[in-house]
Amino acid sequence: MARYYDVHPRDPQPRSIAQVVAMLRDDALIAYPTDSSYALGCRIDSPDGADRIRRLRRLDDKHHFTLVCAEFAQLGQFVHLDNAAFRAIKAATPNPYTFILPATREVPKRLANAKKKTVGVRIPDHPVVRALLRELGEPLLSSTLLLPDAEEAMTDGWQIKEELDHLLDAVVDAGDCGTEPTTVVDWSEGYPQVVRVGAGDPSRFE
């Protein structure tokens, strides 16, 4: 049964954030708000978090998980950045973009794309997820909360709690944060290729 946390969207209660992070450190799978939609999240080294996300969303090994980072400085630990990518991504974040880049050895093989050895990274601009990341001290392994056969991501925290009560450990509700997913930019070949147009302005990468 998922624990439910109703937090302020701009000034989240520190006690609630600390409780959610304590659950994450105990291998919880959570639903949480971002600057584009609600997402599923767990620790990178959670023994079964990625598999739980795959089962819930019915994903295959071609799916790009996303490492949600608190700040740009964290990216270099997990992905390879050339000078052009470094400058462009730093200028564009924090914002609702996901960047697909070659993974470093710090990323467990089971989390990277099986064929391309790439992973998604993003730096969101939402007070609640930024508070969670600061308290956790490491990125979240994440995936959009888009259920199989659904056309849009879920937006209502209480509905998420009711529908996924036995599949999640916690729901962090900060109100409606929209249904439009991130704009996805594949930079794995050394140049930007917009592969999904979403909430982030794609023109700067076209």
Query: From CA 102, how far away is CA 88, in angstroms rounded?
Result: 16
- Structure confidence by residue, pLDDT tens digits, 108-145: 988 888 888 999 999 999 999 999 999 999 999 999 99
Indicate the average pLDDT of the chain. 94
Which residues, at least 6 apart from 151, have a Cβ–Cβ distance to it below 8 Å? none
- Structure confidence by residue, pLDDT tens digits, 148-204: 988 888 888 999 999 999 999 999 999 998 888 899 999 999 999 999 999 999 999
Check residue 113 and give its pLDDT.
86
- List, in order of start, the domains of the chain with CATH numbers: 3-205 (3.90.870.10)
Strand partners, 99: 121, 185
- Structure confidence by residue, pLDDT tens digits, 78-108: 999 999 999 999 999 999 999 999 999 999 9
pLDDT at position 61 over 80: no
Check residue 153 and give its pLDDT.
86
Indicate yes or no: pTM above 0.75: yes
